[in-house]
Every structure is written in C-alpha cells, then in structure tokens.
Amino acid sequence: MRRLILLLSLPMLLCSKNLGAQCWVEASNHTYMVFFDFTILQVNPVQASCTTGYDFTVDIQYAITSSGNYKAGNIHSIDTELNCYGAIAPNNTSFPLPTDTASGLTVTSSLSTNSTNCASDTPVSLLCNQVIITAIGKMFATYDQICLPGFALFTELYSTDIRSTEMGDITFEWTTAVERDTKSYLVEHLYEGDEFELLEEVQAQGNSEVKTDYAVTLPLAKSGVHYFKLMEVDLNGDTTFLKLMSYKLKEKDEVVLFPNPSVDGKFILEGKAVEQQNYKVFNAQGQIISPDKYLQSMGENRVIFDLSNLPKGVYHLRSSEMKDYSLVVV
C-alpha cells in the first residue's frame, strides 16, 4: 500500500482560479508507474442564498495514466480525500475515482462553509488545496510518499523512442518541444530486477522553443527487459520526472561480423557462444593461415580477429560449425 499526499501551494500571483496536482506510485520492482493528475476546477454552492454560509461540492478533473508494464487490474483500490481549510470542520471530503487508467470529471461529497460569497468563491478562496490518495495495488511499495505541489514542467516533451542495433546497443531518444530554465536531463537505467542507476546526464538547451533531439546509448546490452527513466533538472537543481519506458531486447541468435570491410584489419565476431568454437582463416587462394596468430582475444559471446599485418584483400573465416564469413581488409 502506498499513501500519496498531494500538497498544493498557493502562489503569491495566481493567474487562474484552478489548482492542479500531480503524483504517482511506482511498483516496488520498478516495472511500472501510475500517474495521477488533478485539476480542482470549481466550487458548486448547494443553496442559492448564503447570508449565513452554505454547503458546497467541488468539481475535480482527473487523469490516471501509466507507463512501463502496467496492466489493467494492477490498481486494487483508491481512497481519496480533498481538504478545504475554508470549510467548517470536518473540512475534508472524499471523491470517487476509477481503479484503472482513465480520465474524466468527478465531484466531491458535500462540505459547509461560513463564507457569504457563494457567487464568487473558488477553490483558492476556500483553501481547497490538499489532496490525499491512498492507493493499493500489485507491487505497490508499503511506505508513505508526500508529493510536491503541482506545477508546470520546465520541459514539454514532443516524443520519446527506444531502438536497438544488431550489435545489441540500445538507444533511448527524446525530443523536446519547449525548454524553460532547464539545466540538464538525467537518464536512469534498470535491467530486470536490479535498481535504477544513472546512465548519463545530458546538458539541456536551457531555454528553447524549437524541437531539440537528445539520445543516450546503452552499449552491448544483455537480452531481457530494460527500463529507462527520464528526468529533468532545472536551474535551481530541482529534479522532475518526465518519462518511464521499457524495452525488451531479444536474445541474439544470429552471429554478426563487424566492421566489414575493415580499414585497420580488425574484425569482431559477435553472437551467442561464438567463443566456444574453433576458427580457421583462409586467404583468397584457399590456403589456411594460422588462426592463433590472428585471434586477438575472446570474451563472452565475442571473438576479435586482427588481420592488420596481412595485405589488403579478401579473406575467409570458417567456424567449427562450418559457418563461413568473408573478411575484407581495405
């Protein structure tokens, strides 16, 4: 179970009558996240006259979204509470929410206030500025989390993507549409059951209103599920979550030879258990060249050949499984 307390501050200069709040829960194994976004829209007086006070409800717009490996049914229950400190005690009320990803409008239960300004009262004037959520679900951590006030992100994301290469490199890419006072971006990586670790910090543009592309690469990744978490760091040093994405890298069945052609005469043979095989190197005339002389190193799923001392041309490599490869030195 995780209890989320969304505290909404009232800025000195408020340009809107609406208040917003954002918070999220993260599975204890880091495989998915659920996000709660609220906009406290308006106060609805129950009585037409309020010379001695009135009862009221509050309209709240909500959006529940997810990322990672979230599945329908992962949220078991959600209890909610809105605190309005301008109301008569008890100054808290509940409102219904669906237990799955959704968006819409919800209305709180009734509260009472001594205010006589029923025609002009707003969530701000009635201090409806605290939302509390208790969410219970699959793999939710059992500790309390106090969330910061809702605020506009310094970065507006345009798109995100993940791709991989035949060599097993995974690249996490993102494009920003707008950046405001953004210092840098943090990309954290998690592999299956491990913990998130910082993969790279990328310097931001600072302030920009044009699309800007960014990318971070995880080289020679293991097969399995990888998670990438993107966060922004503003000029004050505060960190804000932006995106969580997962990518499943399939186990490499095929063997890859690269670079080919090779300028420096070095070739890498990469694939499952390639280091467990024996190899023969032939010249263009079909003559065997000592393999030990040109076998530079062997590692897990990788063999490196160094033909830099041989003349430029085409050579042939044959494995003990009778697989042939052409090596071109240019």
* DSSP designation for 30: S
Cβ of 330: how many Cβ atoms within 10 Å? 11
Instruction: Give the mean pLDDT per block of 10 residues along the chain (330 residues).
Output: 40 37 73 82 89 93 84 87 87 91 92 92 84 80 43 71 83 92 92 81 92 93 85 86 79 74 86 79 83 69 86 87 82
Distance, in Å, from the CA atom of 212 to the CA atom of 156, rounded to the nearest integer, reads 11
**Residue ranges per domain, the chain?**
2-147, 155-249, 256-329
Work out the burial of residue 228: count CB atoms within 10 Å of its CB; fewer than 13 is exposed, 13-18 middle, 19 or more buried. Answer: buried
Please say whether the beta carbons of 47 and 118 come within 8 A: yes
Distance, in Å, from the CA atom of 322 to the CA atom of 250, rounded to the nearest integer, reads 25
User: The domain 155-249 is classified under which CATH number: 1.10.1200.10, 2.60.120.10, 2.60.40.10, 3.40.50.620?
Assistant: 2.60.40.10
CATH assignment, 256-329: 2.60.40
Fold match flag (155-249 vs 256-329):
yes
C-alpha radius of gyration, the chain, whole number? 29
Distance from the Cα of residue 188 to its chain's centroid: 9
Whether the upstream peptide bond of residue 90 has omega within 30° of 0, thus cis, is yes
Please tell me the predicted confidence (pLDDT) of residue 309.
86
* DSSP designation for 123: T
Please tell me the predicted confidence (pLDDT) of residue 108.
95
Work out the burial of residue 256: count CB atoms within 10 Å of its CB; fewer than 13 is exposed, 13-18 middle, 19 or more buried. Answer: middle
Please tell me the predicted confidence (pLDDT) of residue 194.
67
Which amino acid type is present at position 163? Answer: R
Work out the burial of residue 89: count CB atoms within 10 Å of its CB; fewer than 13 is exposed, 13-18 middle, 19 or more buried. Answer: exposed
